[in-house]
């Protein structure tokens, strides 16, 4: 009996010793932090983990060396000494108008424009590097086009905290973030004079390549193309395109209402469109993008591009009477793509930048540069482009003040007012300021919540890590990040550390530049993605950029001389005020005079 008790006691002690050792082992393992969670590698160095607690930074071709790629090489040191910071460059480009007026009328314009394009584009990885599944280079990231690419790898899965090693163990509720920091209290118009014509172009233009697949988590896209392909006009697959085409003279299908051309209805072209069941069939217009019946501003642009495509087909048929329907259609599409890129660079980006330098669309500026004519849409680009603060409190059209309830899915507004009055109204009404926070209308507030959730699901790195990637100085506190003391205190309370601030809140809540539409980060991060995507289009390559691609000099000239005003006024009965900027007194008077003459 005594031996049995001794055996039981020994067994009990042995079992507890094993449990203690196992517990100690687990505790030891859990205390080991993946060193890459500290983001030790600077200046685009790549963190490679060895063993459990050892890492190396690959500094190849970064211009830096040392354990963490922090020591500049001699050439890099000289370049950093001579190179002005982004803030200085922006200040120079937005001041000294007398100087830029001289530059714009001289050979220096081409030289500076080439510099702007190359410096911006070099910040974007090409070919693509990472995606939401892989934080290291591999063939799948390059080959699988169903993923958005990404500029920085995701936060490692085994980090102790959601954003790496800093901040709080639980990120703030997206709904709380939206209500406290994104929701509009009073409409704040953009001080740069941006209008609703710009706001609807932003949405219409970007939805040809921003098509997140929300049925699958992990940064997937439903778009077949990763750039400007006009799929928002022609459909994103061949079957939809063929249904939208008239199959005669290269044209797209249309309906005539009071002698004017509009998109056809679903009864005429039975393709998938997203409309509420309560909407009458005759109001369900068919457009290249399935959700563009949502807002009359999107339907407006779809109508204008439909008319422009068919107008170009008429011009091409006169010049090329032997061409069949297919060649007329395909060539017209290339011309449309060229017009889109031209208008976006020379007017849309020009409006955003606020530069006195007149931006120029001339692909030949890059023909002697090392430039890759390809593009992949990045997850970060998709997320930063949610510019819903542009939307107003209501819509002012021809003396009527329409709330969202009378605007959303109301395609009848297009026929009721006509293209001319809608363009005029949207060109005159100010859009909201994007940056600075607290300017989302409550109708679109859920978008901010959605983006934050998607960002977390794809483990997007902290805002300051992207500041460093784009050669911007990381913020040291929330009080440096924003001029709004209440917002700074609130963000500090919720995140705990500025280095734990998430990417999208950082981009949208950052203090704006003086009298600007948004802050420094949006400009310095968004511009490289935009310009690389636009100039990386095949039509901008030496092989494509020539008259024969566009059916001869006539088609080529349509591309090279495209403007927003020509796009509208060549496809309307009378020429309204049309611009991406609210009316300036002289400009409005000039356009009124031209409209009268027309």
pTM for this prediction: 0.91
> Please, are residues 134 and 143 in contact by the beta-carbon 8 Å criterion?
no
- Stretch 231-245: mean pLDDT: 96
Identify the pLDDT of residue 286.
96
- Stretch 560-577: mean pLDDT: 97
User: Which conformational region is residue 595 in: left (phi greater than 0), alpha (psi within -120 to 50 degrees), or beta?
Assistant: alpha
- Stretch 312-334: mean pLDDT: 98
Tokens of 256: 């005539």
Residue bearing the bigger pLDDT, 588 or 32? 32
Identify the pLDDT of residue 588.
54
> Please, are residues 232 and 208 in contact by the beta-carbon 8 Å criterion?
yes
Chain segment 254-292, per-residue pLDDT in tens: 999 999 999 999 999 999 999 999 998 889 999 999 999
> Please, are residues 532 and 375 in contact by the beta-carbon 8 Å criterion?
yes
Kindly tell me if the per-residue pLDDT of 392 is higher than 50.
yes
- Stretch 279-306: mean pLDDT: 95
Cα separation, 224 vs 66, in Å, equals 42
Kindly tell me if the per-residue pLDDT of 154 is higher than 70.
yes
- Stretch 229-251: mean pLDDT: 96
- Stretch 394-418: mean pLDDT: 96
Identify the pLDDT of residue 526.
95
Identify the pLDDT of residue 584.
86
Secondary structure string (H, E, C) spanning 247-285: CCCCCECCEEECCEEECCECCCCCCCCCCCCCCCHHHCE
pLDDT band for position 19 (50/70/90)? Answer: very low
Kindly tell me if the per-residue pLDDT of 334 is higher than 80.
yes
Identify the pLDDT of residue 591.
52
Average pLDDT of the residues of the chain: 92
Kindly tell me if the per-residue pLDDT of 14 is higher than 50.
no
User: Would strands 64-65 and 54-58 be described as parallel, antiparallel, or unpaired?
Assistant: unpaired
Work out the burial of residue 518: count CB atoms within 10 Å of its CB; fewer than 13 is exposed, 13-18 middle, 19 or more buried.
Answer: buried
Identify the pLDDT of residue 215.
84
Beta bridge partners of 220: 147
Of all residues in the chain, the percent with pLDDT exceeding 90 is 86
The residues annotated as belonging to the active site are 207, 385
Chain segment 20-63, per-residue pLDDT in tens: 333 333 333 447 899 999 999 999 999 999 988 899 999 999 99
Identify the pLDDT of residue 224.
83
Element (H, E) at 77: helix 74-82
Chain segment 355-373, per-residue pLDDT in tens: 999 999 999 999 999 888 9
Kindly tell me if the per-residue pLDDT of 8 is higher than 70.
no
Kindly tell me if the per-residue pLDDT of 219 is higher than 50.
yes
């Amino acid at each position: 009996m005594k031996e049995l008790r001794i055996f039981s006691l020994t067994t009990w002690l042995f079992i507890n010793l094993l449990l203690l050792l196992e517990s100690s082992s687990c505790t030891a393992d859990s205390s080991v932090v993946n060193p890459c969670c500290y983001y030790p590698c600077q200046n685009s160095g790549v963190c490679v983990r060895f063993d459990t607690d050892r890492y190396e930074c690959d500094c190849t071709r970064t211009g830096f060396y040392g354990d963490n790629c922090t020591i500049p090489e001699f050439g890099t040191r000289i370049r950093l000494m001579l190179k002005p910071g982004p803030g200085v460059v922006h200040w120079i480009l937005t001041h000294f108008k007398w100087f830029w007026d001289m530059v714009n009328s001289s050979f220096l314009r081409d030289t500076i424009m080439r510099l702007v394009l190359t410096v911006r584009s070099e910040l974007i990885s090409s070919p693509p590097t990472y995606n939401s599944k892989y934080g290291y280079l591999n063939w799948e990231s390059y080959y699988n086009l169903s993923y958005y690419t990404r500029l920085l790898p995701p936060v490692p899965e085994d980090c102790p905290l959601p954003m790496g090693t800093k901040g709080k163990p639980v990120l703030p509720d997206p709904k709380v973030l939206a209500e406290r920091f994104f929701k509009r209290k009073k409409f704040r118009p953009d001080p740069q004079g941006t209008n609703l014509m710009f706001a609807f172009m932003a949405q219409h233009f970007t939805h040809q390549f921003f098509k997140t697949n929300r049925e699958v988590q992990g940064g997937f896209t439903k778009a077949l193309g990763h750039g400007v392909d006009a799929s928002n006009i022609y459909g994103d697959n061949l079957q939809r395109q063929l249904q939208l085409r008239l199959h005669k003279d290269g044209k797209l299908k249309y309906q005539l209402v009071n002698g004017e051309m509009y998109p056809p209805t679903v009864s005429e072209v039975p393709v998938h469109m997203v409309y509420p069941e309560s909407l009458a069939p005759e109001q369900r217009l068919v457009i290249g993008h399935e959700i563009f019946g949502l807002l009359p501003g999107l339907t407006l642009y779809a109508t204008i591009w439909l008319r422009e495509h068919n107008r170009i087909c008429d011009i091409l048929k006169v010049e090329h009477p032997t061409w069949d329907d297919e060649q007329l259609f395909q060539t017209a599409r290339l011309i449309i793509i060229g017009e889109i890129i031209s208008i976006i660079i020379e007017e849309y980006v020009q409006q955003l930048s606020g530069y006195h330098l007149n931006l120029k669309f001339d692909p030949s500026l890059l023909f002697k540069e090392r430039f890759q004519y390809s593009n992949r849409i990045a997850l970060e680009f998709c997320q930063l482009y949610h510019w819903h603060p542009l939307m107003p409190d209501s819509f002012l059209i021809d003396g009527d003040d329409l709330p969202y309830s009378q605007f959303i899915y109301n395609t009848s507004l297009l026929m009721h007012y006509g293209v001319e009055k809608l363009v005029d109204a949207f060109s005159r009404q100010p859009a909201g300021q994007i940056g600075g926070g607290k300017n989302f209308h409550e109708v679109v507030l859920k978008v901010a919540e959605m983006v934050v959730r998607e960002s977390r699901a794809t483990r997007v790195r902290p805002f300051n890590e992207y500041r460093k990637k784009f050669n911007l100085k990381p913020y040291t506190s929330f009080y440096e990040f924003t001029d709004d003391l209440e917002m700074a205190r609130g963000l500090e309370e919720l995140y705990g550390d500025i280095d734990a601030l998430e990417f999208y809140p950082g981009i949208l809540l950052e203090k704006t530049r003086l009298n600007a539409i948004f802050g420094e980060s949006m400009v310095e991060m968004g511009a490289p993605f935009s310009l690389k995507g636009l100039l990386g289009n095949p039509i901008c390559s030496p092989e494509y950029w020539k008259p024969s691609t566009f059916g001869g000099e006539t088609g080529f000239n349509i591309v090279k001389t495209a403007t927003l005003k020509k796009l509208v006024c060549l496809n309307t009965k009378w020429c309204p005020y049309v611009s991406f900027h609210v009316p300036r007194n002289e400009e409005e008077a000039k356009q009124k005079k031209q409209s009268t003459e027309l």
